Chain A
Amino acid sequence: SQTIHQWPATLVQPVGSPLSLECTVEGTSNPNLYWYRQAAGRGLQLLFYSVGIGQISSEVPQNLSASRPQDRQFILSSKKLLLSDSGFYLCAWSLDPGQPQHFGDGTRLSIL
């Protein structure tokens, strides 16, 4: 069966510091991969979407970036974090567009 792993679970970073969050999927090949952000008490906002290695679609202008160096690895990065980057970051995968998306456990990011 397929599993998705995200780390770290929690992260506290100072303003202006860099960021790297990692997500990996096991048990499937060529998954569609997604990064979402959830502000406290709010819905999920799609940040990035990838259908394959090196293919990244950015949904929201921001100071974050995403990369997919391997088939089942998805990385969310920032060179300089802002206070507004605080939130719950969730990685998700699906077999194909239009198929159910399954979420990882998320990373709770606090910016000080």
Chain B
Amino acid sequence: GENVEQHPSTLSVQEGDSAVIKCTYSDSASNYFPWYKQELGKRPQLIIDIRSNVGEKKDQRIAVTLNKTAKHFSLHITETQPEDSAVYFCAATGGTSYGKLTFGQGTILTVHP
């Protein structure tokens, strides 16, 4: 089955800086990669996703890049704000695990004012 590794486990930045979270996946047939933001005690919320037929997708301050050859994808947050502080999860699905998301272990992002 699919295996997703996420780094770093914790990330601390100053307000206004950029933050980058990276994930690698094992199944070369995976073709859908969502990112979720989870605030303390709340549900995970989808913030951006990318499919394997594109290399980059952007939504305001958030962007995701995908390198299919290297089997890794990254979340980029620019001009970070304190309200960006949360746990971020990457996930992957496709191929033999079609429809079943495999999640990374999460990154705790802290944005200091």
A residues near B (Cβ < 8 Å) are 32, 34, 41-46, 49, 51, 59, 90, 94, 96-98, 100-106, 108
Asked if B100 and A49 make an inter-chain contact with CB atoms under 8 angstroms apart, the answer reads: yes
Mark B residues whose CB is within 8 Å of A. Answer: 6, 31-32, 34, 41-46, 49, 89, 93-94, 98-106
Interface pair A46/B89, CB less than 8 Å apart: no
With both beta carbons as reference points, the residue of chain A lying nearest to B98 in the complex is identified as A97
Q: How far is the CB of A31 from chain B (nearest CB, A)?
A: 12
Contact A44 B43 (CB under 8 A): no
Alpha-carbon distance A4/B45, docked complex (angstroms) = 13
A32 contacts which chain B residues (CB < 8 A)?
99
In the assembled complex, the Cα of A51 lies from the Cα of B42 at a distance in Å of 26
A-B contact pairs, 14 of them (CB 8 A): A34-B101, A43-B6, A43-B104, A43-B106, A49-B99, A49-B100, A59-B100, A94-B99, A97-B100, A98-B94, A101-B46, A103-B43, A103-B44, A108-B41
A-B contact count (CB 8 A): 52
Q: Are B105 and A43 in contact (CB under 8 A)?
A: yes
Q: Does A100 lie within 8 Å of B99, measured CB to CB?
A: no
Which of A41, A43, A49, A106 makes the CB contact (< 8 A) with B103?
A43
Q: Which residues of A sit under 8 angstroms from B89, Cβ to Cβ?
A: 43-44
Asked if B100 and A46 make an inter-chain contact with CB atoms under 8 angstroms apart, the answer reads: yes
Interface pair B34/A100, CB less than 8 Å apart: yes
**Nearest A residue to B44, CB-CB:** A103
Q: How far is the CA of A59 from the CA of B32 in the complex (A)?
A: 19
Report whether A100 and B49 are in contact in the complex, using a CB–CB cutoff of 8 Å.
Answer: yes
Which B residues lie within 8 Å of A43 (CB)?
6, 89, 103-106
